[in-house]
């Protein structure tokens, strides 16, 4: 399509001057870069009148729609259906699972008046929906024939936050939450790990965001879960970002909400349930990971505009008409080939457009000028490496597709190399402390399993156990990094967002 | 795909016995049918703990997803982009447009506590988002180059309701709301009518729901609008259902929120804005319109399952294997042809499955039995007419596609004929009153334009002006049905949901 007007042409005057550099060694500078990249690219804005909330603008929402589609496809391929559950959670529902209410009550926004009257019972704006799903599952599940029940919803949720960071931490955010009920513990556990793998595959394949996976320690468990698993990405400043979680809820919610079923053997049994969620948070992580001094670098698989075509002005009206004709044809041809392509035909200078689309992170730019057209070729420029090449008009859509794949693979490899280079085995606490004060990263260290050590490490280094990897005992027994007690597993520590 | 387990196999015991008849002459009986059809088909359930709210179950949500996709396609084709705006509206925002706050304040749900503390200012859960869009548009729009700004959002909204009817009237509902800003009145008016036409086309083409369109009278205008337009459908009980509205907001919200721009002539001017919305309400209207004594009848273009394949049991294992093989092949072949097909391979009896899928409204059923297979054919049964035909296996996907088109056209024609048969010109008030007490329907009657007459008619007949049609003055001058005063237009009256 031609330049859409939905968001206007960008005359917002507040954004003068250069993008701040992406200086990941300085927290404040890095934050400045992040906020500037998001605001200038018109991805999102804060909503100051309600602290902690934000608007996702069309460019950002289009990105989220592409991410949603890629994730939703995976949910459906693994047998899940979407539904929509109520926004309001009665206070009494939250209270039915003791750990759950303790974990969430401090963050809840409460509706206390409605329709001109005070309410008899406060209603929570859902911070998560285990209790609502539990209520309905207890009605919908009668016999083993109804199992497994595999439902997901895409929804807004609210958790009152003191700090606000675009996408990473906001009071209201968009997410999906899957809730499933099973006949046996084993089935529930399989589901929990299956969805963790779906998240990891989505992050790595679609967002070019390498992740580590594993189980959370008891202190980081979801309130009400028997076990919580997570994928964690490593941001360029060496901090971890929890990017998706999957919980085995055991029979805790089944007990609290009477989710039972008549089994084949004629006995009534409690179900085993799971839940798993991924939010707009991972969108923020993806932006932090790939961007550079010029702005965003979006992974081709989810970029709203994979390729921007910039016509280069010609001197004569005849040459201009030829260029415009070729641009129009290319938009159609590349669009028909399934690419998300856009021609920027505004009256700005080409240099301005180059900057603008680098800021917005379009993975490829195609320049079409009179000399290109005369030579039956166009110029393609990669956003990630700035590599330029001339491509014959004949076969341009094949080559464009190849280059998009190349960009996707390259930014993943770069992020993977960074993660690998910043994951270290650490054997002594002095080194651990030093690394956490300097370049940070993931530290693989022995841990005795005591929450006292976990707490002390957090207090002294701000590092927490991000996950206990599935191969945590592969190195055999060792000594706890903190208290030197015997330890059987190496766990992954990092500071985190 | 084979029978998905997402919603279980349906052993919910509460739904014994026959579906209630769809008796549209008795309001209570009709309501019983509607509720039974929705609950038994597992489309939705009420959430009793919070009066007025409901859950949309996977089968219902899949239907909504198909509707969303069809509507979203039309929004994008007319140049709109999606975004996501905050859920919370500060009370002061609502108060900035006087009519707006007066119209919505009584229905608002208020958040007064959050994060463990009372809030300094109450936050409304959005009942609609003109004020929030206004706030951001005033920041994003600087010059004529930024116009038009054409943004839509898909979101949940809350309006506290006393009565509850699945989809038609609920406290929380899902909808889309488009909000646009323009340089001139004319452009805003064009947009307002363009989106009304988009709604009408969507209702008629996708949902097989014929509608009338026109302008609302002043008393039925959106709070804060200069003009409100609507599409109205006629339900089988002769009551109208407002199914989508489009508002020309003039400069009211632009004034309240300082949405101005620097025009080409160097002057700062206020924008002209519009908004338009369609909700899950129209889903309810579609169900009411097409269903029959056996349950739902879903339009093929949006039905989650367009075709259900029911294997007929064979006597020998060999024949059974042959039948199963053919069923599997058909699921693949028809799926590859782009049809939404599902084989019901549960161990229920075929007769039970026929009933179940009639209840769920699948437009076509395909029976595949040993005798069919031996004759290289299958049996296709239309949901709407129950017409049966044998179709050769060779060319079955072409014939299935044709029959789906036929069902879509037939249910539309039937609804169109009903609407036409129940739209009457009425010249005297006695007849008007009598019709409103009996079969109801749309009554085209002269109206002098006074709100006193409008009020009296409503009090005495429960009929309101649904729309002033665009050709309201086509019949020339006449006399008001109510007070016999000179009148220039025939308007459309009906009782309504």
Query: Phi, psi (5° rounding) for residue A33?
Result: -60, -45
Residues A149, A137 contacting (CB under 8 angstroms): yes
Q: Which of B255, B289, B323 is the last residue of a domain?
A: B289
Q: How far is residue B114 from each of residues A120, A123, B117, measured CA to CA in Å? A: 18, 11, 5
pLDDT at A61 over 80: yes
State the smallest CA–CA distance between residue A144 and chain B in angstroms.
9
Both B168 and B243 in one domain: the answer is yes
Q: Is A226 helix (H, G, I), strand (E, B) or coil?
A: coil
Q: Which of B404, B434, B461 is the last residue of a domain?
A: B404
| Separation of CA A73 from chain center | 16
How many angstroms separate the CA atoms of A150 and A82, rounded? Answer: 9
Q: Which of B45, B64, B81 sits opposite A4 (nearest CB)?
A: B81
Both A46 and A165 in one domain: the answer is yes
Residue B13 lies in a domain: no
Query: Phi, psi (5° rounding) for residue B479?
Result: -125, 135
Average pLDDT over residues A285-292: 98
State the smallest CA–CA distance between residue A388 and chain B in angstroms.
31
pLDDT at A2 over 60: no
Residue B28 lies in a domain: no
> Which value, to the nearest 10 degrees, does the dihedral of the CA atoms of residues B194, B199, B204, B206 take?
120
Both A434 and A350 in one domain: the answer is no
Would you place residue A15 in the very low, low, confident or very high pLDDT band (cuts 50, 70, 90)?
Answer: low
CATH number (domain holding residue B483): 3.30.110.30
User: CA nearest B391: which of B408, B403, B383?
Assistant: B403
| Interface contact B61-A49, CB threshold 8 A | no
pLDDT at A165 over 70: yes
Residues A42, A161 contacting (CB under 8 angstroms): no
How many angstroms separate the CA atoms of A26 and A37, rounded? Answer: 16
pLDDT at A487 over 90: yes
Residues of chain B where predicted confidence (pLDDT) is lower than 50 = 1-14
ipTM: 0.95
Both A155 and A282 in one domain: the answer is yes
Q: Which of A55, A86, A140 sits opposite B50 (nearest CB)?
A: A86
Chain A interface disruption, residue of B8, B107, B123, most A CBs within 10 A: B8
Both A316 and A463 in one domain: the answer is no
Residue A80 lies in a domain: yes
Indicate the pairing of strand B81-82 with strand B149-158: parallel
Residues B133, B259 contacting (CB under 8 angstroms): no
User: CA nearest A86: which of B173, B488, B22, B396?
Assistant: B173
Average pLDDT, chain A: 94
Both A266 and A336 in one domain: the answer is no
Average pLDDT over residues A96-103: 85
How many angstroms separate the CA atoms of B472 and A178, rounded? Answer: 51
Both A435 and A384 in one domain: the answer is no
State the smallest CA–CA distance between residue B171 and chain A in angstroms.
10
Q: Is B147 part of the contact surface with chain A (CB cutoff 8 Å)? A: yes
- Neighbour-count burial for A123-148, b at 16+ CB within 10 Å, e otherwise: bbbbbbbbbbbbbbbbebbbbbbbbb
Residues A327, A343 contacting (CB under 8 angstroms): yes
Both B84 and B120 in one domain: the answer is yes
State the smallest CA–CA distance between residue A124 and chain B in angstroms.
9
Q: Which of A50, A83, A106 sits opposite B86 (nearest CB)?
A: A50
Which residues of chain A lie closer than 8 angstroms to B150, CB-CB?
5-6
Which residues of chain A lie closer than 8 angstroms to B2, CB-CB?
none
pLDDT digits (tens, 9 = 90+) for A330-376: 999 999 999 999 999 999 999 999 999 999 999 999 999 999 999 99
Number of structural domains found in chain A: 3
Token pair, residue B275, equals: 């908004």
Chain B interface disruption, residue of A2, A6, A41, most B CBs within 10 A: A6
Q: Which of A290, A323, A339 is the last residue of a domain?
A: A290
Residue A301 lies in a domain: no
Q: Which of B107, B114, B161 sits opposite A109 (nearest CB)?
A: B114
pLDDT at A17 over 90: no
Would you place residue A466 in the very low, low, confident or very high pLDDT band (cuts 50, 70, 90)?
Answer: very high
Q: Is A364 left (phi over 0), alpha (psi -120 to 50) or beta?
A: beta
> What contacts 24+ positions apart, CB below 8 Å, involve B138-141?
B138/B257, B138/B258, B138/B259, B138/B260, B139/A12, B139/A45, B140/A7, B140/A8, B140/A12, B141/A8, B141/B181, B141/B259, B141/B260, B141/B261, B141/B271
| Interface contact B79-A5, CB threshold 8 A | yes
Residue A417 lies in a domain: no
Residue B51: per-residue pLDDT: 87
**Helices B58-77 and B281-290, interaxial angle, to 10°?**
110
Residue A51: per-residue pLDDT: 87
Q: Which of B62, B112, B115 sits opposite A112 (nearest CB)?
A: B112
How many angstroms separate the CA atoms of A270 and A134, rounded? Answer: 12
List of E strands, B421-476: 423-425, 442-447, 464-469
Residue A32: per-residue pLDDT: 96
Chain A interface disruption, residue of B2, B9, B11, most A CBs within 10 A: B11
Query: Phi, psi (5° rounding) for residue A310?
Result: -110, 110
How many angstroms separate the CA atoms of B455 and A59, rounded? Answer: 47
List of E strands, A315-420: 341-343, 364-368, 377-382, 388-392
Residue B45 lies in a domain: no
| Interface contact A56-B83, CB threshold 8 A | yes
| Interface contact A135-B47, CB threshold 8 A | yes
How many angstroms separate the CA atoms of A298 and B125, rounded? Answer: 33
Indicate the pairing of strand A307-311 with strand A211-215: unpaired
Query: Phi, psi (5° rounding) for residue A128?
Result: 180, 165
Residue A16: per-residue pLDDT: 62
Task: Please give the DSSP secondary-structure letter assigned to residue B163.
Answer: S
Q: Which residues share a beta bridge with A489?
A: A447
Residue B417 lies in a domain: no
CATH number (domain holding residue B385): 3.40.50.800
Structural domain boundaries, residue A119: 27-290
Interface subset of A 154-183, CB within 8 angstroms of B: 155-156, 158, 160-162, 172, 174
How many angstroms separate the CA atoms of A445 and A429, rounded? Answer: 9
Residue A252: per-residue pLDDT: 96
pLDDT at A10 over 50: no
Question: What is the number of other CB atoms lying within 10 angstroms of the CB of residue B473?
Answer: 14
Nearest CA in chain A to B58: A83
Taking CA B297 as the corner, what is the angle to CA B296 and CA B301, rounded to the nearest 5 degrees?
A: 130
Both B282 and B311 in one domain: the answer is no
Which residues of chain B lie closer than 8 angstroms to A111, CB-CB?
109-112, 125
Would you place residue A97 in the very low, low, confident or very high pLDDT band (cuts 50, 70, 90)?
Answer: confident
Interface subset of B 75-134, CB within 8 angstroms of A: 79-88, 90, 92-93, 105-116, 122-123, 125, 132
User: What is this structure's pTM?
Assistant: 0.95
State the smallest CA–CA distance between residue A204 and chain B in angstroms.
25
How many angstroms separate the CA atoms of A68 and A175, rounded? Answer: 9
Residues B311, B345 contacting (CB under 8 angstroms): yes
Residue B8: per-residue pLDDT: 38
Both B205 and B344 in one domain: the answer is no
State the smallest CA–CA distance between residue A303 and chain B in angstroms.
15
Interface subset of B 37-76, CB within 8 angstroms of A: 45, 47, 49-50, 53-58, 60-62, 64-65
Question: What is the number of other CB atoms lying within 10 angstroms of the CB of residue A213?
Answer: 20
Residue B102: per-residue pLDDT: 87
Residues B120, A45 contacting (CB under 8 angstroms): no
Residue A18: per-residue pLDDT: 84
Both B150 and B272 in one domain: the answer is yes
Both A272 and A333 in one domain: the answer is no
Residue A220: per-residue pLDDT: 93
Which residues of chain B lie closer than 8 angstroms to A48, CB-CB?
none
CATH number (domain holding residue B73): 3.30.930.10
Which residues of chain B lie closer than 8 angstroms to A158, CB-CB?
87
Residue A395 CB partners (closer than 8 Å, separation 6+):
none
Residue A42: per-residue pLDDT: 97
Which residues of chain B lie closer than 8 angstroms to A54, CB-CB?
86
Which residues of chain B lie closer than 8 angstroms to A64, CB-CB?
84
Residue A102 lies in a domain: yes
pLDDT at A13 over 80: no
Q: Which of A61, A82, A172 sits opposite B87 (nearest CB)?
A: A172
Query: Phi, psi (5° rounding) for residue A209?
Result: -115, 100
Q: Which of B13, B87, B145 sits opposite A11 (nearest CB)?
A: B145
Chain B interface disruption, residue of A40, A51, A54, A58, most B CBs within 10 A: A58
């Amino acid at each position: 399509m031609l330049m859409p007007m939905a968001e206007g042409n960008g005359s917002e005057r507040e954004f003068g001057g250069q993008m701040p550099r992406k200086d990941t060694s300085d927290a404040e500078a890095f934050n400045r870069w992040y906020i500037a990249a998001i605001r200038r690219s018109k991805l999102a804005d804060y909503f100051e009148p309600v602290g902690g909330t934000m608007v996702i603008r069309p460019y950002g929402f289009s990105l989220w729609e592409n991410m949603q589609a890629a994730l939703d496809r995976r949910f459906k391929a693994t047998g899940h259906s979407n539904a929509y559950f109520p926004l309001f959670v009665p206070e009494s529902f939250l209270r039915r699972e003791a750990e759950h209410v303790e974990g969430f009550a401090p963050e809840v926004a409460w509706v206390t008046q409605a329709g001109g009257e005070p309410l008899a019972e406060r209603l929570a704006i859902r911070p998560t929906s285990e209790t609502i799903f539990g209520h309905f599952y207890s009605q919908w599940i009668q016999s083993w024939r109804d199992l497994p029940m595999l439902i997901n919803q895409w929804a807004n949720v609210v958790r009152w936050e003191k700090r606000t960071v675009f996408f990473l931490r906001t009071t209201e955010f968009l997410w999906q939450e899957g809730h499933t009920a099973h006949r046996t513990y084993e089935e529930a556990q399989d589901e929990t790990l299956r969805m963790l793998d779906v998240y990891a595959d989505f992050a790595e394949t679609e967002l070019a965001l390498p992740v580590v996976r594993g189980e959370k320690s008891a202190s980081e468990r979801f309130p009400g879960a028997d076990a919580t698993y997570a994928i964690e990405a490593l941001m360029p400043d060496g901090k971890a970002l929890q990017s998706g979680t999957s919980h085995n809820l055991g029979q805790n919610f089944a007990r609290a909400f009477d989710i039972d079923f008549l089994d084949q053997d004629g006995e009534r049994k409690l179900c085993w349930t799971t839940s798993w969620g991924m939010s707009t948070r991972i969108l923020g992580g993806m932006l932090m990971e790939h961007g550079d001094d010029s702005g965003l670098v979006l992974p081709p698989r989810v970029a709203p505009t994979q390729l921007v075509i910039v016509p280069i002005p010609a001197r004569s009206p005849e040459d201009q008409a030829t260029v415009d004709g070729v641009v129009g044809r290319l938009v159609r041809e590349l669009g028909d080939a399934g690419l998300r392509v856009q021609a920027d035909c505004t009256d700005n200078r080409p240099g301005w457009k180059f900057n603008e689309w680098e800021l917005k992170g379009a993975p490829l730019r195609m320049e079409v000028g009179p000399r290109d057209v005369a030579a039956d070729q166009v110029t393609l420029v990669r956003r990630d490496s700035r590599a330029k090449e001339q491509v014959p008009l004949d076969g341009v859509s094949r080559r464009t597709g190849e280059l998009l794949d190349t960009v996707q693979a390259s930014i993943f490899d770069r992020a993977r190399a960074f993660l690998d280079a910043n994951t270290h085995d650490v054997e002594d606490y002095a080194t651990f402390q030093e690394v956490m004060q300097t370049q940070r990263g993931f530290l693989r260290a022995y841990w005795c399993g005591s929450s006292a050590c976990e707490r002390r490490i957090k207090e002294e280094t701000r590092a927490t156990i991000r996950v206990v990897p599935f191969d945590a005992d592969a190195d055999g027994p060792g000594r706890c990094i903190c208290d030197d007690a015997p330890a059987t597993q190496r766990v992954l520590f990092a500071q985190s967002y």
